[in-house]
Amino acid sequence: MRHYNLYKRSKRKQKNTKAGFSFLGFGVRLLAFALIGWVACTFYGFKDVSGVFGQKTYDFLFKYFGSTSYLIPLFLAYWLYRSIKNKTLAIFTLMFGVFLTLGSLGGEIAFIKSFFAKGSLQAGIIGQSFFNFPASFSGKAGGAICCFVGIILGVHILFAIPWVATIRKTFDILKNDFTSWMQARAEFKAQVEEAKAKEKAKEESSQNAEPRRVVSEEDTSEEEKHSMPKISRPVAQMISLPARQPVIKPEEKNKSKEEKAEETKEKKEFILPPLDLLREPSQNNIIGPSDSEIAASTKKLEETLKSFDIDASVTGVAPGPVVTRYEIKPGPGVKISSIVSISNDIALAMKARGIRVEAPIPGKDAVGFEIPNDKPVMVTMREILQDPAFINSKYKTTVALGRYAQGDAAVSVIEKMPHVLIAGATNSGKSICVHSMIVSLLYRAKPDEIKFLLIDPKRVELTLYEGIPHLYDPKVPCDDVNVVKDAQGAVKSLQALVKVMEKRMKIFEIAKVKNIESYNAWAAEHNEEKAFYIIVIIDEMADLMLQTKAAIEDSIQRLAQMGRALGIHLILCTQRPSTNVITGVIKANLPSRIALQVTSKIDSRVVIDANGADTLLGKGDMLYLGISDPKPKRIQGAYISEEEITKVADFLRAQGAPDYPVQVPPEQNQDGMRPTQGIGTSREEMLQALNLIMQRRRVSQDILKANFGSSARASNILSVLEMKGFISKPEGTNRWEIHYDLIEQALQTLQNSPAEEEYESVYK
């Protein structure tokens, strides 16, 4: 068996060797024939060089193939190359491909000869036949088209050309060449425009001209009109107001707080703060980047769009203090989604920290790209207070927010909000936004027109306004009013404000009016005391919700639902915009939202029900969603420093102390005893609560709420029980510890001593 395998192997080797020798011999002969054919065609007429065989070969090839016979040696050499590279091309395939290619090419020569008979090119018998046959029934044009198709087919048979890839590669080469040419043209154009801008700037400086202005259509050439988009640049308008200074005599500086309050009541005079207390704007009334910077950014933006095969152009530019909005108009058939999807690529090309896309811009057929400026400009509080949009407003509750992304002053009216939620991460500008709203109201309304209930669990932000005449707290008299700093005090103040709201509802019902403006008009006619607006500002909502969620949520819900027409408005702030803090009940009653920079898209959707707040730049950059706005508007908040706030507060404190009438007067119950005034409980309620604890042997807000029917009442009773020592919560736990011995003693005292005076002396 072994010998048989060796025998088969040797036979196979001999066969392969013979095949190799035969193929090599055929290839050598074919190469020789190709060289002879090339020499015959090249040196025809030189018998010493081509020989008789060469002359005969050339006569034969030229007779049948004409001028295309020069290609036959090349095709043979190509076949030999393919064979050596083991890419075998069958001889019959070669012959058919060569015959089809040369015949069709000769047909094209015959087509040319039909117009130019004196030409040196010859079609040959085969080429003339290839042309005459289709031309006999389709004309010369049809014959030429058939020959062209034959050339394509023959070349494809011989060379197997991937036509799709070849066409695509050729198109890419042409496209890259065209793009490079366009970029070079745009760079050259930008250099020319920059040189013109420099010359123009030199001329203006030499003539001591005014600061740069918006380029009008009359001043631009036709080429500049086509390349330069329309720039809507607002100019900061600041109206100079007369100085408002209170007349304070030297001897009045040493007077006590009570004496100043009495004199303020007698004089009934109040002077609004002057604008001199605030910082002047640093810019020269010009907002946003220069025209040359806008032109360069526009060119770069359009080039980026073209590199992604997007047919779009920049049609308008709205410069702002921190961001500039470029309006991009897509061409016919271009989808907006294709432009929005490359926002990150545009941010990379523009070297921007973050880009916000507004697709589309409300009221326009364009997509807005808000790109940060290289040199942001600070928006000061004074320039907004001096803007006509703020000064000409007829509402007392007008607040200054800052400037929109397009540069216009951003003002709003709290009456139309009517309640607002402000949320943002730490150092995003949330507290500055609150200060700007408070200060703008202090510059607009007197203490008898607007009051502030300030709740500041952080104890560091709103304490700057302690002692100003606008301060208000319904649970305490005006002599003891201050900024509320603890959660229990906030609960009691809001519960007392709910009672104030209920009292106002009854008064408005008697006057037969539907809002505070109508009531004040009615009060002026009937010589009654006017009602003032009450602005409730909570600086950190998360801390209150952590400690007294149920009571706070209940009071906020009632105030938000019923307080708008009664002149009560809420401004709630938080740096943790989660669903635990901004619950569905609170969010449903706060239609206006201000979102500053947040840490995630989830937080952005919690605040404004959309993405975008996570891409803001911080430092007062915000999105404002009004009650009637379809989409959030971008605003750069106005900045006001602590020094400016202190100056304004000192100016107000110098004119008097807080002054307001008692809001919740004592009322009589059916048993003749006084109810609680936001503090403590009645005797009957205390007995019920203590007996309930002894029966259930446990206590919670839910148990008290089920018995007394009100979450706010249950929270109030729970606070009184804790204050009097009946229950306590050890540190590190969340369970109430009940002191039954004290409860038994209290029950005996209350049952044996029903006198109201003794009850008040012990439990009030």
Q: Which CATH number fits the domain that encloses residue 512?
A: 3.40.50.300
394 in the same domain as 493: yes
Residue type, 329: K
Domain-located, residue 262: no
390 in the same domain as 350: no
Mark out the alpha helices in 229-342 (DSSP H runs): 257-267, 291-307, 336-340
143 in the same domain as 90: yes
Out of 357, 374, 391, a domain closes at 374
597-625, pLDDT tens digit by residue?
A: 888 888 888 888 888 888 888 888 899 98
User: Residue 39 sits in which domain range?
Assistant: 20-161
Note the pLDDT of residue 594: 92
Q: Are strands 398-404 and 633-637 parallel, antiparallel or unpaired?
A: antiparallel
Domain-located, residue 731: yes
Domain-located, residue 721: yes
Q: Are the CB atoms for 718 and 685 separated by under 8 Å?
A: no
Token pair for 717? 């009773």
- What does each C-alpha distance from 356 to 340, 409, 627 come to in angstroms? 10, 20, 22
754 in the same domain as 646: no
- Pairwise CA distance, residues 661 & 664, whole Å: 9
Domain-located, residue 275: no
639 in the same domain as 507: yes
664-708, pLDDT tens digit by residue?
A: 654 433 333 333 333 456 777 888 888 888 888 888 888 887 887
422 in the same domain as 366: no
Torsions phi, psi of 541, nearest 5? -70, -30
392 in the same domain as 370: no
What does the DSSP 8-state code read for residue 613? G
Specify the length of the chain in residues: 764
Out of 374, 399, 431, a domain closes at 374
| Average pLDDT, consecutive stretches of 10 residues, N- to C-terminus, the chain (764 residues) | 51 49 52 60 51 64 72 72 63 73 77 72 75 77 80 75 76 80 79 78 55 42 52 60 46 51 55 89 68 84 86 85 86 84 84 80 83 85 90 90 86 91 88 93 92 90 90 87 88 89 89 90 88 92 81 86 90 85 80 89 85 84 87 90 92 89 52 40 80 86 79 78 80 76 82 52 46
Note the pLDDT of residue 324: 87
723 in the same domain as 639: no
Q: Which CATH number fits the domain that encloses residue 699?
A: 1.10.10
SS3 for 256? coil
What order do you get walking across the sheet with 450-455 strand by strand?
409-413, 398-404, 633-637, 621-625, 592-595, 420-423, 568-574, 533-538, 450-455
- How many domains would you assign to the chain? 4
151 in the same domain as 65: yes
Give the DSSP H/E element, type plus range, for residue 172: helix 163-206
Domain-located, residue 701: yes
Q: Are the CB atoms for 404 and 319 separated by under 8 Å?
A: no
Domain-located, residue 594: yes
Query: What pTM, to 2 d.p., does this model score?
Result: 0.57
Angle at 322 between CA 320 and CA 324, to 5 degrees: 45
403 in the same domain as 363: no
Out of 113, 132, 161, a domain closes at 161
618 in the same domain as 494: yes
Note the pLDDT of residue 471: 93
- Pairwise CA distance, residues 407 & 318, whole Å: 7
Domain-located, residue 229: no
Domain-located, residue 757: yes
759 in the same domain as 689: yes
Residue type, 88: T
